[in-house]
Chains A and B, each alone.
Chain A
Amino acid sequence: MIHLDHIHKVYPTRAGDRVVLNDISFSLDRGEKLGILGRNGAGKSTLVRLVSGAERPTSGEVTRNMSVSWPLAFGGAFQNALTGLDNVRFISRIYKQKTESNIDFVYEFTELGAYLREPVRTYSSGMRARLAFAISMIIEFDCYLIDEITAVGDAKFYEKCETELFGKRRDRAMLIISHDLEYVRKHCERFAVLHEGDLAFYPDFNQAHQAHLHNLHIGEN
């Protein structure tokens, strides 16, 4: 189980402190799939980084009683000056994995071929997503944190992700952020909307969707 207990996150900005997360508490059980909606800049990625432990909350505590992946997001996780393969080696070392078998899997899954020997900074976002996804599939986690990553690939990558994540690993917990509402609806069973520092939970997708749409259009007539 993952438990967030009264999490606050404040970022200093030129215009003074900005509260991104204001007293957020919730739990995620094994096997549970939670979808989080919110407009751009609402703090969804910040929340995922806090859950992953990559970043510390300003106050409050995150307890992790199961293994949690790093945030599978557009940026992050890779060193851009290194090649794809060197990044695979780096991550394999950190998570105590056999490098060689991982490399084989990455070649096969990503279909990046010779690009794997080029620096990651030359990759497109779709290529990065494939690499990030492939590596995270080698290391088995109890909970996957998915921050838009599956949204950038082509149809084939999308299919592969579906098989790996929601087929083979359907028993795992997931925290999913996506602007693709249909994707969230299809794969999650709990829904929450993050808006102005508050995380509101809704019993079904339609209510969450309504609240999200309402937030998107605040300020309009």
Chain B
Amino acid sequence: MTFSQLSTIGRSASIQWRVIHALLMREILTRYGRHNIGFLWLFVEPMVFTTGVTILWTLTKALHGSTLPIVAFALTGYSAVLLWRNMPARCIGAIEPNLSLMYHRNVRVIDIFLARLILEGGGATISFVTLSLFYIYIGWLEPPQDILPIVAGWLLIAWFGSTLAIFLGALSEKNELVEKIWHPMSYLAFPLSGAGFMVDALPPEAQKYVLLVPMVNGVELVREGYFGSQVHAHYDLPYMIGCCIALSLLALAQVAVANREITPE
């Protein structure tokens, strides 16, 4: 690669970052406005959700098939759900309200998605980390045994969530069915996503099938980090990564189609 090619790539990267930054600020303003706590809603909202679920599960003594503390169980499970479920929800139909901004040639479909994904992923992550620290501080939670698997599992779920989001978001431009179907699909996928159970607690025949759901592998990894030797986590990382790569390619292909077909208003 010659120097001029490198500098071209550098220039493109700086333009793209500028555009994504501008879109980020625009999203924050239209979503949260300048009223009451404004931008803080980004992570306060998921925190309220997760805390609510944690309390509910604690009160009902949710059957999760192990002796693990329910707080830690709910926190890891529900935070992960917010991560993979909210990203597609925010990206489906994301292009339409931004069509007029695409009058500026450097604003492209992928930038709109990336800006929303950074916000959504950031919000879920801040919520997860803050709640963990807070629960540890007030004594609801033991500190995690190993941070690294938590980070790895979290990133894998985020990767899965964002590529799914970009794929569905680009597809939803052509077909409004995507929006209609995603809602029930995500709702039905929730109990299968590993948020409410440990794979180890399932019958062996079921384990094999439930691990085919990509999110489950990520959630298991996060829990291995949290509970360490207390649990026997099951996951298939090559499978999960393979799913993410395949989905990434599909997503980029669909974005290329959207780029070609879009008419700024």
Contacts and interface: CB of A to CB of B under 8 A. Distances in A.
A93 B100 contact: no
A94 B98 CA distance: 14
The number of chain A residues touching the other chain, given as a range, is 20 to 34
Q: Is the interface of A mostly helix, strand, loop or mixed?
A: loop
A54 B103 contact: yes
Nearest to B30: A81
A71 interface: yes
Interface stretch (A35-43, A84-92, A188-196, A199-207): A84-92
Contact of A90 (B22, B263, B265): B22
B230 interface: no
A94 B19 contact: yes
A49 interface: yes
A96 B262 CA distance: 25
Contact of B25 (A71, A76, A81, A90): A90
Contacts of A53: 105
B107 A94 contact: yes
B105 A52 contact: yes
Nearest to A81: B30
A60 interface: no
Interface residues of B, number: 24
Contacts of A80: 100
A138 interface: no
Given A90-B22, A90-B25, A96-B18, A79 B107 contact: no
A77 B259 CA distance: 17
Contact of A70 (B25, B105, B259): B105
Contacts of B105: 52-54, 68, 70
B18 A82 contact: no
Contacts of A82: 26, 29-30
Q: Is the interface of B mostly helix, strand, loop or mixed?
A: helix
Interface in B1-51: 18-19, 21-22, 25-26, 29-30
Contacts of A31: none
Contact of B18 (A71, A77, A89, A94): A94
A93 B18 contact: yes
Contacts of B102: 54
Nearest to B19: A94
A172 interface: no
A36 to B, nearest CB: 18
Interface string B207-237: 0000000000000000000000000000000
Nearest to A70: B103
Interface string A131-173: 0000000000000000000000000000000000000000000
Contacts of B107: 94
B264 interface: yes
A94 to B, nearest CB: 5
B106 A94 contact: yes
Interface of B: 18-19, 21-22, 25-26, 29-30, 97-98, 100-107, 259-260, 262-265
9 contacts: A49-B103, A71-B103, A78-B101, A79-B100, A79-B101, A90-B22, A93-B22, A94-B19, A94-B107
**CB-based closest 10 A-B pairs:** A53-B105, A93-B22, A76-B103, A77-B103, A70-B103, A54-B264, A76-B100, A81-B30, A94-B22, A54-B103
